[in-house]
């Protein structure tokens, strides 16, 4: 599987809406100019994605294996047979663009210790581990016991796996134990169940899990549109966004990459000093 086959546009509800508009225009006999204009808009989205993909560095060989093995695995049956709690799907993988972004962030941060919450088949974990120094450490946490062996054997294909530790269980428990042991992380990537994020933020920012000058990255910050689409009831994505918005101690950047990546840092680490 090539890097571009793990496509990204399905994450954008505006693109889905454009596809619907095209079908509607065709079915209702709209003017050829209208149809052409919608087709051009969709082509531009596609071209932008291909361009982004072609300019971005490609992944190392082991990621092709992670992509291929993840796509050919029968996750549906595993779930139906009760072997996984979550209905895991290949589209959950971060993929090359986001993987390279994460790798850059680890490198820019000069991180030595990274925490990856939501391992799945290890794409984000390995992307970040590849940027760590030889004495660096990445802990990846997931609640699915099934993944310990499956992902463990995929990751061991890379020499960088020597820096990776897999922890199966509750991320909050892992985080609290780490705080108790005086362990901190320079970079924390959250890519799991959002209903726990407010609890994670408390441990990360208030209980001291995040190292001084550390960075938190929150994946799926758009939640396929449910973060910004008006809705009668506040969902977990909006609850996380409201809490983040209200927190004046944080510097925040919403990066519209794939399904949205929110960068959180302590404001005191970001705001520069005025020369005397
Ligand atoms: C979106 S996938 C992570 C994708 C991964 N970062 C990658 O790059 O392939 C979410 C993962 O989080 C795990 N998960 C969901 N809820 C969780 C929770 N409450 N605690 C720990 N892991 C959880 C799922 O088992 C799944 O593997």
Average pLDDT (210-236) is 91
Residue identifier of the C-alpha nearest atom 25 of ligand 1: 144
Is the model's pLDDT at 1 over the cut of 60? no
d(CA 179, ligand 1 centre) in Å: 21
The atom of ligand 1 lying closest to the CA of 169 is: 21
From the CB of 124, is ligand 1 less than 6 Å away?
yes
DSSP for 98-156 reads HHHHHHHHHHHHT-SEEEEE--TTSHHHHHHHTTS-TT-EEEEEES-THHHHHHHHHHT
Q: Ligand 1 mean position to 29 CA, how many Å?
A: 45
ipTM of the complex: 0.99
Residues linked to residue 139 through DSSP beta bridges, in sequence order: 115, 165
What is the per-residue pLDDT across 6-64, written as a single tens digit (0 to 9) for each? 655 557 889 999 999 999 999 999 999 999 999 999 999 999 999 999 999 998 999 99
Question: pLDDT tens across 58-74, in order?
Answer: 989 999 999 999 999 99
The reply to whether ligand 1 has any atom less than 6 angstroms from the CB of 121 is: yes
The ligand 1 atom at the shortest distance from the C-alpha of residue 95 is 8
Banded pLDDT at 230 (limits 50, 70, 90): confident
pLDDT score of 132 more than 80 = yes
Alpha carbon of 135 to ligand 1 centroid (Å): 26
Mean pLDDT in residue range 195-215: 97
Residue 35's pLDDT is 98
pLDDT value of residue 231: 83
Whole-number mean pLDDT of the chain? 94
Those residues whose C-beta lies under 8 Å from the C-beta of residue 28, and which sit 6 or more positions away, are: none
Answer whether 121's CB lies under 8 Å from 93's CB: yes
Regarding the beta carbon of 127 and ligand 1, being less than 6 Å apart is answered no
Average pLDDT score over residue span 242-268: 95
CB 105 within 8 A of CB 188: no
Atom of ligand 1 nearest to the CA of 92: 1
Q: Which helix (H) or strand (E) holds 37?
A: helix 32-55
Question: Is the pTM of the predicted complex or chain greater than 0.90?
Answer: yes
pLDDT higher than threshold 70 for residue 4: no
Q: What is the pLDDT of residue 235?
A: 87
Decide if pLDDT at 207 tops 70.
Answer: yes
Nearest CA to ligand 1 atom 27: 120
In this predicted structure, which of 119-123, 169-173, 208-212, 223-227 has the lowest mean pLDDT? 223-227
Ligand 1 closest atom vs CA 70: 9
Atom of ligand 1 nearest to the CA of 189: 6
**pLDDT of 263 over the 70 cut:** yes
Residue 252 reports pLDDT greater than 60: yes
How far is residue 243 from each of residues 86, 197, 249, measured CA to CA in Å? 26, 10, 11
Q: Measuring CA to CA, which residue among 150, 147, 231 is closest to residue 192?
A: 147
Tell how far the Cα of 193 is from the centroid of ligand 1, in angstroms: 7
Nearest-10 crossing angle of helices 61-72, 95-109: 140
pLDDT tens, residue by residue, 98-116? 999 999 999 999 999 999 9
Q: Is the CB of 102 under 6 A from ligand 1?
A: no
């Amino acid at each position: 599987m090539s890097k571009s086959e793990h496509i990204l546009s399905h994450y954008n509800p505006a693109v889905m809406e454009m596809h619907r508009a095209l079908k509607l225009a065709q079915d209702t006999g709209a003017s050829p100019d209208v149809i052409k204009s919608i087709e051009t808009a969709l082509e531009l989205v596609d071209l932008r994605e291909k361009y982004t993909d072609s300019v971005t560095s490609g992944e190392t060989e082991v990621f092709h294996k992670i992509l291929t093995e993840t796509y050919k695995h029968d996750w549906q049956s595993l779930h139906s047979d009760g072997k996984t709690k979550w209905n895991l799907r290949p589209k959950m993988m971060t993929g090359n663009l986001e993987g390279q972004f994460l790798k850059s962030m680890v490198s820019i941060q000069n991180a030595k210790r990274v925490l990856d919450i939501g391992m799945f088949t290890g794409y984000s974990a390995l992307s970040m581990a590849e940027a760590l120094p030889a004495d660096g450490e990445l802990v990846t946490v997931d609640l699915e016991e099934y993944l310990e062996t499956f992902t463990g054997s995929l990751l061991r294909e890379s020499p960088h796996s020597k820096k990776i530790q897999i922890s199966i269980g509750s991320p909050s428990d892992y985080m609290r134990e780490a705080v108790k042991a005086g362990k901190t992380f320079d970079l924390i990537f959250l890519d799991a169940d959002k209903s726990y994020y407010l609890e994670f933020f408390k441990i990360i920012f208030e209980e001291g899990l995040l190292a001084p000058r550390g960075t938190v990255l929150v994946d799926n910050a758009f939640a396929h549109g449910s973060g910004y689409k008006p809705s009668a009831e506040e969902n977990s994505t909006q609850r996380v966004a409201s809490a983040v918005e209200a927190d004046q101690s944080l510097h925040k950047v919403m990066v519209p990459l794939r399904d949205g990546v929110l960068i959180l840092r302590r404001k005191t680490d970001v705001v520069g000093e005025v020369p005397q």
